[in-house]
Chains A and B, each alone.
Chain A
Amino acid sequence: MEADNITFKAFENEKTTPHLEALRSLISDGLSEPYSIYVYRYFLHQWGDLCYLALDGENLIGVVICKLEKHREHGANRGYIAMLVVKEEYRGRGLATKLVKMAIDAMIVRNADEVVLETEVTNTGAIKLYEHLGFLRSKRLHRYYLNGNSAFRLVLYLKSNAEALQAAGDHDHDHLDADGEMEITND
């Protein structure tokens, strides 16, 4: 495998990037949870610019899928990394880190306050990857996945609360409050 053949690009939309099927099968092979086509379309049509692909020539070998939106009405502008997969034979070369960095950088440009995600507690590789970028584990989620495994919620603050609140221009302490629960994380 020649390293120089590997390129990265944003997904943007289905017209510019005819990789939807390849993307589905890559993720389906890589992750335990089954996702319907609606899930992919939900993310890709709203945040195609926060989805990055790694390609070896024309072959899709890695992908990160994200979203970015207000967490509750006056809450933080929260980035969320929904899926991250790199083809097995391409692992250990920093491709996943590169993909995640591209996504976070894009979120920063779009004024994200924080980035969150969940990962299986047994997935030490992924946990290490995120922790080496600056994420912290904020809580453990008991039996979060269909297969019965627990998860860690990982969080990265991109702004301090004071900044985030100022930027939001309101004094709602929603973002500050100790409650991490009420968030309807349908994710």
Chain B
Amino acid sequence: MASNSGGFNDAFARLHVSEKPTEGRQTTTTTISSPSSASFRDVTQLFRQTCQGLDVGQLVKDPNFTLFEAVGALEIMDPKMDSGLLKPGEDDTPSEIYQPVLPEEIIGIMDQLLSSEMSWHDGAALSQTVFTCLYIDNLLSLNPSSLEEAKFNLPPSEAHQPGSPTCQLLHLILRAYCVGLIKCCERVNLQILAEHTYEEEDFVTQTYNVSLLDFVTVSEINKLIVSAIEYVDSGAAPWPNNIKMALKARLAFRKLFLTELSRDVKEMVEKRSNWDGCITLLSTIGITRNLGTAVPSVFSIAVQRKLASTVPPRPIVQIPFEEAFTIVSRLCKDAKEILRVLTYSGATNLMTFFLRFTARKPQPSTFVRSLLQTLFFSNHMALGRMQIGHILLEDVKELCLPADDLFDPRNELSEMPSDTRFQIHQRMKWFVERAGNSYITLYRTICQNRSRLRRNLCHLIVDWDALQIECEEIDGELQQLIKEEPVLHNDNISYAFSLSSWVYHYKLRQMEWIIFLGFELEVYLPHEFAGMYWYLQYFLRTRLQHLERIRHFVHPGVASDSPLAATRSKECIASAQDVANAQATVNFTLLEAAALQELCSAMIFLYTALARLGLVKTPPQPYSTDSMRYELRMKPFLTIGCPDVVPFEDFKALVDNPEIETLEMLEMASENTKEGRKNFDLLSKMSATSSHAILCEEGYRLNLREYLRSCIGAGVAIVMLSKAIKMNTVADVEVEIDQGSYHPWFPVPRISSKKRPPLPAIPPMGR
């Protein structure tokens, strides 16, 4: 059980959907305010008296006092809960802040602050990170409402005579850096609050009612930083060049970083971003890292006592500089990389980018994933300048190429409800709106952390299932409106059903992802692998059949006999290139699905064989039954109309394959790995354009290599296992499931021979 507000797992409580976070937003802060007319009465005596009437063990409880309240309550004087508690010997008077005199110390503090800031980015609270810095605390504690007020309030010091370099170090250079850093935190918080993220889980936006210089503009702060840089550059600053360089790089980075964090989508579309500038300055910070001297005494947990908070005290988190440096460098690189989506190059390419980018290990930071959501869709615009409907329809066209008449711009001009064009337009408008919402949600969901992605996909497929049914109806109506000619497919007269076909394809992919992510997140136990790969293989086989069907309907001339043929606009007619593109997309998607299906099939046989040989064991499981556990596993899919969940008995027989000999089974697995490998090899040879990976070729190829590695790893395991059976040495074999060195969706069993038990030690003499 998780405790306190932090641990609540309430999806609603954590989900931020606020478009524009306003100042003074709600926090968990409790302020006790009372009207001036209120009069207070001491009820202690009354309370004590009433308690006398209670028996030991008797409890008075308000029915509205739920577990939520119980868990959220803090106990005063409990060191685990009371952040204001003073341990014996501790005292509450704020100790004087050490005032550094050396530039090395300033460099050290700046780097410690970067560590704190990145610890915050990495999921810790401000109260554990940035706010524990006594200088940040000092600067913010008087609640500055202008830049002039945002300064340190320190007792006079001999060493810091006004105007002296030591004074400038503190009151100009460190101050400018701190002010810049605080503003960076504010920008990051605003970004994260603007999109879907999970509070406490991905990120803690809580500021404890401390204003992060909300009222000071970025340009004012940048000016302050510039004047600090100019001072360092001037003759008045008596420090060696390398020290000057270190200070300047840190100040300049802060200025540039703040500028980048403050950009809106419009500026990004106009290609005004300069993350490269940040990356260059970071390398200087890395090189000059050793010039700094850490000053640990300017960070203190005692700051938490002052923060208005209903969460228990939490320890200081300050990751090592190297780690912080990696995080900030990656953040800048990733933030630059996601700008690629603004160069729109088709819907399939866009989806590939989202999938590959967010699957990266370690996952890109919450900030970057939030920014990616904003780039994708904000202010009713996709990618800063497009209608979402445009991308949606392109996605449909790239795969299914529906009849030209559905996209004729003349449809929209018709105002007569009885007109065919008008009726087509109404339906397409409905589709763009209805499917558009699901489509946006899918992109946003892909940007969530991996655990949430899997959980949320379980909801999404229910929506896509409903969408599929709704679209089937619309497809039926459209096919009558355009007098679509049926086509013979698999001995059946059939229609294209383009919109619902497209929806079905996406639904199947999401169903596959749910199970694949189950492997990635280690939700399944090895003895369940065979069954779960069976389901994947089942979904993939269904998708392959569906793609074959789609392919059948992607050809020129689909729209030839429409009653609208005579008045059709030229621009809506699919070109030979459009047809070829859709065919290529279907073929590529078929190949990819086939490759995955082969590898899944290999895994079914391999893990079934391992279970038969007793090398993968099922735990005892005295409670529940296998069929109920199956039901639990299938829970996300039980309500999905098509494909059906297979009855448990059938499922068991299909996975166990009792009629196939183990060696034969391994033989079949080996064939599957070979086929899979062939397909993955073919995929590797395809260009980024044909693979729809032009926005993320590197990540796409890396992923393919990982699939191949799993294929090869499975092949090796199959050979070793077959050999052990033939040589009758299965008893000497040891199996370890390797989740780490292969594709996260295809963990591979590592098969080795048991080390022979060491010879018994010679007993000591005389016993």
Contacts and interface: CB of A to CB of B under 8 A. Distances in A.
Contacts of B55: 15
A45 B61 CA distance: 10
A142 B624 contact: no
Contacts of A143: 123, 200-202
A33 B74 CA distance: 12
A5 interface: no
B462 A142 contact: no
Given A139-B451, A173-B639, A186-B66, A82 B633 contact: no
B35 interface: no
A109 interface: no
A23 to B, nearest CB: 13
B3 A146 contact: yes
Interface of A: 13-15, 28, 33-39, 41-42, 45, 82-83, 104, 117-118, 121, 128, 131-146, 148, 150-152, 155-161, 173, 176-182, 184-187
Contacts of B521: 139-140
B67 A42 contact: yes
A145 to B, nearest CB: 5
Contact of A185 (B9, B56, B202, B454): B9
A156 B638 CA distance: 17
A184 B66 CA distance: 11
Contacts of A160: 627-628, 631
Contacts of A176: 635, 638-639
Contact of A37 (B4, B56, B75): B75
Interface in B322-369: none
B566 interface: no
A158 B523 contact: no
A152 B522 CA distance: 9
A137 B448 CA distance: 21
A148 B623 contact: no
A148 to B, nearest CB: 6
A121 B522 CA distance: 9
Nearest to B619: A132
Given A135-B623, A158-B624, A187-B71, 15 more contacts: A33-B7, A34-B80, A36-B78, A38-B65, A39-B3, A39-B71, A139-B454, A140-B451, A140-B522, A140-B523, A158-B628, A178-B639, A181-B11, A186-B68, A187-B67
24 contacts: A14-B57, A15-B57, A28-B80, A36-B71, A39-B3, A39-B70, A42-B67, A45-B61, A82-B1, A117-B1, A131-B619, A132-B621, A141-B9, A142-B452, A157-B632, A161-B631, A176-B638, A176-B639, A178-B459, A178-B637, A179-B458, A179-B462, A185-B8, A186-B66
Contacts of A180: 455, 458, 635
Dominant secondary structure at the B interface: loop
B304 to A, nearest CB: 14
Interface string B514-540: 000000011111001000000000000
A18 B105 CA distance: 57
B10 interface: yes
Contacts of B311: 146
B74 A36 contact: yes
Interface in B637-693: 637-640
Given A82-B1, A146-B2, A186 B10 contact: yes
Given A36-B74, A41-B70, A178-B461, A157 B624 contact: yes
Dominant secondary structure at the A interface: loop
Contacts of B73: 36, 38-39
A178 B57 CA distance: 41
Interface of B: 1-4, 6-11, 55-57, 59, 61, 65-71, 73-75, 78, 80-81, 123-124, 198, 200-202, 311-312, 314, 449-452, 454-456, 458-459, 461-462, 521-525, 528, 619-624, 627-629, 631-633, 635-640
B7 to A, nearest CB: 6
Nearest to A17: B57
A140 B620 contact: no
Contacts of A151: 2
Nearest to B456: A181
B624 A83 contact: no
B227 to A, nearest CB: 39
B312 A34 contact: yes
A131 B620 CA distance: 8
Contact of B623 (A134, A186, A187): A134
B237 to A, nearest CB: 41
Contacts, number: 189
B638 A157 contact: no
A145 B1 CA distance: 8
Contacts of B56: 14-15
Given A140-B523, A146-B7, A34 B632 contact: no
Contacts of B314: 146
B458 A178 contact: yes
B458 A41 contact: no
B81 A34 contact: yes
A29 B553 CA distance: 66
A15 to B, nearest CB: 4
Contacts of A83: 1
B632 A155 contact: yes
A186 B68 CA distance: 5
Nearest to B636: A178
Contacts of B61: 41, 45
Nearest to A155: B632
Nearest to B8: A186
A99 to B, nearest CB: 14
A182 B459 CA distance: 10
Contacts of A82: 1
B201 A144 contact: yes
B625 to A, nearest CB: 8
A13 B624 CA distance: 30
Contacts of A186: 8, 10, 66-68, 71
Contacts of B640: 178
A132 B624 CA distance: 11
A173 B68 CA distance: 26
B454 A179 contact: no
A39 B2 CA distance: 11
Given A146-B314, A186-B66, A35 B7 contact: no
B452 to A, nearest CB: 6
A117 to B, nearest CB: 8
A128 B123 CA distance: 28
Closest 5 CB pairs of A and B: A14-B57, A34-B80, A33-B3, A38-B70, A134-B621
Contact of B123 (A135, A148, A184): A148
